A = this chain, B = another copy of it.
Amino acid sequence: MTVTVDDELWSAIGDPVRRQLLDLLLADGSGTPTSLSDRLPITRQAVTKQLGVLDRAGLVHATPIGRERRYEVDEDQLARAVRQLNDVGRSWDARLHRIKRIAEQIQRGQLDD
């Protein structure tokens, strides 16, 4: 019953910096490495690297406009990632509930002894 996860996608949204980048891009609609680095405590080059990871995972998309590289979130792909997130959560949830039920049954059994 283990949920199989696209590791590249998961690890892309697993990193706190990358989650923040996605948050900013979603909030503003789009952003450039420079504009994003202005709003984060890391340099433009670091932002560029992380955007590269998100790009390879298909979570964002860049379009060169003049001398800028304008990034946007790929909403469909992010929706896919969110679905995986939820799947893993649900799977663990179910397992935890199953365990709890068993534990309660044991306890009841002991009381019955």
- Chain A interfacial positions (CB closer than 8 Å to B): 2, 5, 7, 10-11, 14-16, 19, 22-23, 26, 75, 78-79, 82, 85-86, 88-89, 92-93, 95-96, 99-100
Q: Are A85 and B85 in contact (CB under 8 A)?
A: yes
- Chain B residues, Cβ within 8 Å of A19: 5, 88
Number of copies: 2
Per the bound structure, the CA–CA distance linking A100 and B78 in Å amounts to 13
Chain B residues contacting A100 (CB-CB under 8 Å) are: 75
Residues of chain B within 8 A (CB-CB) of A23 are 2
Q: Which residues from B are CB-within-8-Å of A93?
A: 79, 82
Residues in B whose Cβ lies below 8 Å from that of A99: 26, 75
CB-based contact A82/B89 at 8 Å = yes
B11→A16 contact, CB < 8 A: yes
